[in-house]
Amino acid sequence: MGEIEIGRVQNVEALRIKDIAIAASINAIALADLEGNITYINDSFLKMWGYSDAKEVLGRPAVEFWQQREEAETIIAALHTSDGWAGELLGKRKDGSTFYVQLSANMVKDEAGKPICMMSSFIDVTEHKQALEELKQSKEQAEKTTAQLEQVNRRLEASLERANMLTEKALAADSAKSEFLANISHELRMPLNAIIGFSQVLAEQDLTDEQGRYVDIIRESSENILQLINDILDFSRIEIGVLDVQISDCSLGCLLAVTESLMRPAAMEKKLKFEILQCGELPAQIRTDSVRLRQCLINLISNAIKFTEKGHVYVNVSAQEVDGRSYICFEVEDTGVGIPPEKQQAIFERLTQADGAAACRFGGTGLGLAVTKRLANLLGGDVFVTSEAGKGSVFSLRIPAAVDVKSQPVLADTTLRTN
């Protein structure tokens, strides 16, 4: 076989190998004549554009397969005057749906430099585009959320700055400290309510898990601060003698039912057994300030739930006679951390807790017990505690019934249970 014949065979074999490689390519590949009519496509092109037979495509103008027809025509014209073109276009499938394509097109020339045909390679970049758009939207949402949080933080900083200024003035006038605390508590309520409101709005936005945790922390912390401020406000009013109690007839059954409904969710969240138990006969009506009595009960039950990780919280309600007077006693019993004997009286002092480690673990300042103690005194009663470290506590709230218990209708069974 002569050298010319050998060379011809080698060229034919090389072309056959190239045809096989193009046909098997995972990229969509197409050839078009100089007028832009499609002359060849591989299987990847058929799959990408949603066709099942090459006969449906061959011979058709290439511009028909693009959503942006005018831009496709411009690209074909440009290939006649340049070496190639690369960029992104919107493809149009057989069913009319569109998708994003990364296009690389070149003019194929012979050895003499004369144009023969146009060849294009395509990659479907739709998922990549969608991912970039989602990332962009997430970034914009994160920036918006950050800006809102910064705005809330600035308001809080301004409020705290004002609080610090008022604190300095209060230190110079110790006799006016209680009035000052009442005023500053009122001032802090407004920005804190705004923070809680904005955090609730943010929580309803489309946030990432991490952003959602941040918003939850802001809301929970703000609510805790607001509760502390309310306690401070009550304590301050008691100290300066401007908090009055409103004594009137009230339904004991209604009081217990409302208290149970308010405290049940907190007990259920910690999977604690919670019961309000009637211990013996109780009068259906008593005379007291039902709002302040309920506040005392909620403080004691909340405290018990907070310091109890497993077991139960019971509220045992009974009628008692002390020195010829009728009292109603509410014993809040828990299986929590307990209180050492030497700390049991100190917990009723303002801003005092039995255990610093427990304070760090469970939070709070202990002011709620101090407020409860003073409210009970205003109602003519008192609060006592019996406890053993590691085995739980019993807080006993005793207030005057202020009625002739024996002449009152007996309260129906008020046992309320939550498991």
pLDDT of residue 11: 41
The DSSP-derived string for 18-78 is HHHHHHH-SSEEEEE-TTSBEEEE-HHHHHHHT-S-GGGTTTSBGGGGBS-HHHHHHHHHH
Amino acid at 37: N
- Is there a single domain that holds both residue 54 and residue 94? yes
Cα–Cα distance measured from residue 181 to residue 174, given in angstroms and rounded to the nearest whole number? 11
Q: Which residues of the chain have pLDDT under 70?
A: 1-25, 167-190, 223-224, 227-228, 230-242, 350-366, 414-419
Cα–Cα distance measured from residue 376 to residue 296, given in angstroms and rounded to the nearest whole number? 7
**What is the CA angle 113-83-86, rounded to 5?**
150
**Residue that is last in its domain, among 220, 239, 258:** 239
- Is there a single domain that holds both residue 260 and residue 367? yes
Number of domains making up the chain: 3
Record the tokens describing residue 183, joined without a space: 């005023």
Tokens 């006993």 sit on residue:
396
Asked if residue 131 belongs to a domain, the reply is no
Asked if residue 130 belongs to a domain, the reply is no
**CATH number reported for the structural domain that contains residue 391 in this entry:** 3.30.565.10
pLDDT of residue 365: 47
pLDDT of residue 206: 82
- Is there a single domain that holds both residue 226 and residue 252? no
Q: Nearest to residue 42, comparing CAs of 124, 121, 126?
A: 121
pLDDT of residue 199: 79
Cα–Cα distance measured from residue 82 to residue 276, given in angstroms and rounded to the nearest whole number? 88
- Is there a single domain that holds both residue 77 and residue 226? no
Domain that holds residue 306: 248-418
- Is there a single domain that holds both residue 399 and residue 256? yes
Amino acid at 58: L
Query: What are φ and ψ of residue 299, in 5° steps?
Result: -60, -45
- Is there a single domain that holds both residue 268 and residue 209? no
Asked if residue 155 belongs to a domain, the reply is yes
Amino acid at 47: K
Asked if residue 129 belongs to a domain, the reply is no
Q: Where are the alpha helices (DSSP H) in 176-208?
A: 177-203
Amino acid at 299: N
Q: How far is CA 384 from CA 130, 151, 210, 272, 365, in A?
A: 65, 45, 44, 23, 19
The DSSP-derived string for 156-182 is HHHHHHHHHHHHHHHHT-GGGHHHHHH
- Is there a single domain that holds both residue 217 and residue 255? no
Amino acid at 339: I
- Is there a single domain that holds both residue 385 and residue 303? yes
Record the tokens describing residue 301, joined without a space: 């039950």
- Is there a single domain that holds both residue 295 and residue 215? no
**Residue that is last in its domain, among 239, 264, 290:** 239
Record the tokens describing residue 370, joined without a space: 């101090």
Cα–Cα distance measured from residue 328 to residue 334, given in angstroms and rounded to the nearest whole number? 19
Q: How many residues does the chain have?
A: 419
CB 220 within 8 A of CB 226: no
C-alpha dihedral, 395 to 400 to 406 to 408, nearest 10° = -100
Q: Nearest to residue 120, comparing CAs of 63, 55, 169, 167?
A: 63
Name the strand (E) or helix (H) holding 337. Answer: none
**Residue that is last in its domain, among 124, 147, 167:** 124
CB 332 within 8 A of CB 397: yes
**CATH number reported for the structural domain that contains residue 57 in this entry:** 3.30.450.20
Asked if residue 110 belongs to a domain, the reply is yes
Pairing of strands 392-400, 382-388: antiparallel
Asked if residue 132 belongs to a domain, the reply is no
pLDDT of residue 9: 40
